[in-house]
């Protein structure tokens, strides 16, 4: 057993877990943050993507202990209270989700993509960058639209800040 100290969605937490515990399990089982999903065993599907110190990471590939001391943002921590993150709003407005299972990971990856490209995105780039997130419902058509839409919204909101 190890004690893992993290900041999760702005709150300091300290959890005792088995050494083999994955970050995805710690979030789901110990912290009840069940918005982070597990859709495969091989780090292919991306349903478990969270931000570790601002970078999108598949939380099923990280041992909880490896994340010790870091700051984690999960899908539950993305909105500011009742105000949705522009990426969340864009997914809703563009019908970028159906069953919703891949959606948290998809949104967390997409936020990171927009940050890394500074909002300078085109369809081909978005499709390439989403390679690590699998969706079985949408055919990606509306996810790509949502990410491009959000890139515009995030640029505007950054300019306003």
Partner 1 sequence: MGVEGIGASVVRKEDKRFITGKGRYVDDIKLPGMTYAHFIRSPHAHAKVKGIDSSAALKIPGVVAVLTGKEIVDDKVGNLICGWAITSKDGSPMKMGAWPAMAPETVRFVGQAVAVVIAETKNLARDAAEAVVVNYEELPAVADVTSAIKAGAPQLHPEAPGNQVYDWVIGDEAATSAAFAKAANVVKLDLTNNRLAPNPMEPRSAIADYDTAEEHYTLYTTSQNPHVARLVLSAFYNIAPEHKLRVIAPDVGGGFGSKIYIYPEEMVALWASKKTGRPVKWTGDRTEAFLTDAHGRDHVTHAEMAFDASNKIVGLKVKTYANFGAYMSLFSSAVPTYLYATLLSGQYVIPAIHAEVIGVYTNTTPVDAYRGAGRPEASYLLERMMETAARQLKVDPAALRKANFITQFPYQTPVIMAYDVGDFNASLDAAMKAIDYAGFAGRKAQAKAAGKLRGIGVSCYIEACGIAPSKAVGSLGAGVGLWESAEVRVNPVGTIEILTGSHSHGQGHETTFCQLVAERLGVPISQVSIVHGDTDKVQFGMGTYGSRSAAVGLTAILKAMEKMEAKAKKIAAHALEASEADIVIENGEFKVTGTDKAIALPMVALAAYTAHNLPDGMEPGLKESAFYDPTNFTFPAGAYICELEVDPGTGKTSFVNFVAADDFGRLINPMIVEGQVHGGLAQGIGQALLEHAVYDSNAQPITASFMDYTMPRADDLPSFKLSHTTTLCPGNPLGIKGCGEAGAIGASAAVINAITDAIGKNNLEMPATPDRVWRTIHSA
Contact residues for partner 1, defined by CB under 8 A: 18, 20, 28, 32-42, 44-45, 47, 74-76, 78-79, 84, 88, 91-93, 95, 97-104, 107, 123-124, 126-128, 130-131, 133-144
To partner 1, the closest distance from the beta carbon of 111 in angstroms equals 12
To partner 1, the closest distance from the beta carbon of 126 in angstroms equals 7
Q: What is the dihedral of CA 156, 101, 25, 150, to 10 degrees?
A: -10
To partner 1, the closest distance from the beta carbon of 91 in angstroms equals 5
Q: Which residue shows structure tokens 């990171």?
A: 112
Specify burial of residue 115 (Cβ count, 10 A radius: 0-12, 13-18, 19+): middle
The Cα angle at residue 62 between residues 30 and 150, in degrees rounded to 5: 90
To partner 1, the closest distance from the beta carbon of 79 in angstroms equals 6
Q: Using CA atoms, how far apart are residues 129 and 5, in angstroms rounded to an integer?
A: 31
Q: Using CA atoms, how far apart are residues 130 and 34, in angstroms rounded to an integer?
A: 22
Nearer to partner 1, 45 or 114 (CB): 45
Q: Using CA atoms, how far apart are residues 28 and 38, in angstroms rounded to an integer?
A: 9
């Amino acid at each position: 057993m190890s004690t893992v100290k993290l900041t999760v969605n702005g709150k300091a937490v300290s959890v005792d877990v088995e050494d083999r515990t994955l970050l995805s399990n710690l979030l789901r089982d110990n912290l009840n943050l069940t918005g982070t999903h597990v859709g495969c065993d091989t780090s292919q599907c991306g349903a478990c993507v969270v931000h570790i110190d601002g970078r999108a990471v598949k939380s099923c590939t990280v041992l909880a202990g490896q994340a010790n001391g870091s700051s984690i943002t999960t899908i539950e921590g993305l909105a500011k209270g009742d105000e949705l993150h522009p990426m969340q709003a864009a997914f809703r407005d563009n019908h970028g989700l159906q069953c919703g299972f891949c959606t948290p990971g998809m949104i967390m990856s997409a936020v990171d993509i927009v940050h890394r490209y500074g909002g300078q995105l085109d369809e081909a780039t978005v499709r390439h960058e989403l390679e690590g997130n699998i969706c079985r419902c949408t055919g990606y058509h509306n996810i790509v639209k949502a990410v491009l839409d959000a890139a515009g919204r995030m640029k505007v909101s950054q300019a306003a800040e």
